[in-house]
Amino acid sequence: MILKYSTNGHLNQDNLYLNSILLYNSFIICLSFVLQTRKGHHIFSSSSYKTLFKMNKLFHLLAITVCCFSATTLANVNITSPPVTNWGIWGPFQRCPFGSYAQGFQLTTESFYGPFADDTALNSIKLFCGDPFRPDTAVITSTVSPWGEEGNIYSCYPGFLNGFQLRVEENQGSGDDTATNNVRFYCTNLPTPNDYVEGDGLAFGSWGQVQHCYSNQVVCGIQTQVEPYQGDNDDSALNNVLMECCDYSKPANATEDVKEDSSVLIAVNPKFAFAKKDQ
């Protein structure tokens, strides 16, 4: 039995350790079988089996050590919004190019058209894998809905996104459902870990549970659950979000600290970040 890796192709540390133990234990069992004759007499002395037992214990200790070390270098973690609503299909997973991480975001939101219209609120989340205001910066989005307009571009540069929180409207029954309305992102260069950058979505619903990457990780990928067009029925567009957290290692030639002086950050809603209207 071999345990599976994570769905995004990155090693799961628990599975890495268990696979190592399963494979080695299989080897020990086979070797023990070979060391016996057909009559059940042992080819080697009891001291040989004691040595084999010690080797087994040593391997377990080595496997634990390797897994603990590699936990900071191999394991990417997925953080997912708690499913207040659960309509739609999970779109394709998109990841920043190798060596780059999410450093800004932009929302596409449909304005509120009144109680008799079919409103959808948040339609897509765009992540910038680098400085959001450079024209060559890679962009990732997963699935997007066709309604709404792009809002402000919010930047954490030179810091990185390392957590998020969704504002979601619960199931309205026979009323109009909008599902996810807005997003807050947490950044490595904000004054405190509790500070965030709030997007310019709508205000229906309530803020859910905060999802954070580990302290040595930042956001590097995104996958969204979006309800397809429902025709004459109620549309809700974006429902849930999954973010991938990757280990971040500061480049050897980097001179700037990830923690930027908060005095140069611009207040937005009224939190801290750089904001600029997309032209």
pLDDT tens for residues 239-271? 999 999 999 977 665 544 444 433 333 333 334
- Measured between alpha carbons, how far is 6 from 4 in angstroms, rounded to an integer? 7
Cα-trace Rg, the chain: 25
Q: Please check whether residue 208 is in contact with residue 186, taking contact to mean a CB–CB distance below 8 angstroms.
A: no
Is the domain of 114 the same as that of 230?
yes
Greater model confidence, 37 or 222: 222
Quick one: pLDDT at residue 179? 95
Is the domain of 90 the same as that of 58?
no
Is the domain of 97 the same as that of 168?
yes
Report whether pLDDT(228) > 60: yes
Is the domain of 66 the same as that of 84?
no
- Measured between alpha carbons, how far is 104 from 273 in angstroms, rounded to an integer? 9
Is the domain of 58 the same as that of 84?
no
Report whether pLDDT(234) > 70: yes
Residue 63 burial (10 A CB sphere; 0-12, 13-18, 19+): middle
Structural domain containing residue 24: 13-70
Greater model confidence, 71 or 94: 94
Is the domain of 268 the same as that of 179?
yes
Is the domain of 221 the same as that of 123?
yes
pLDDT interval class at 14 (50, 70, 90): very low
Report whether pLDDT(29) > 70: no
Express each pLDDT in 48-88 by its tens digit.
556 655 665 665 565 555 445 444 445 799 999 999 999 99
Quick one: pLDDT at residue 7? 36
Is the domain of 24 the same as that of 49?
yes
6 occurs within a structural domain: no
Greater model confidence, 158 or 44: 158
Is the domain of 140 the same as that of 231?
yes
CATH number at residue 255: 2.100.10.20
Q: Please give the mean pLDDT across all residues of the chain.
A: 78
- Measured between alpha carbons, how far is 188 from 173 in angstroms, rounded to an integer? 39
Residues 6+ apart with CB under 8 A from 16: 67, 70, 74
Quick one: pLDDT at residue 201? 97
Is the domain of 118 the same as that of 183?
yes
Is the domain of 35 the same as that of 165?
no
Report whether pLDDT(190) > 80: yes
Give how many domains the chain has, as a whole number.
Answer: 2
- Measured between alpha carbons, how far is 233 from 239 in angstroms, rounded to an integer? 16
Residues of the chain with pLDDT > 70, as a percent, come to 63
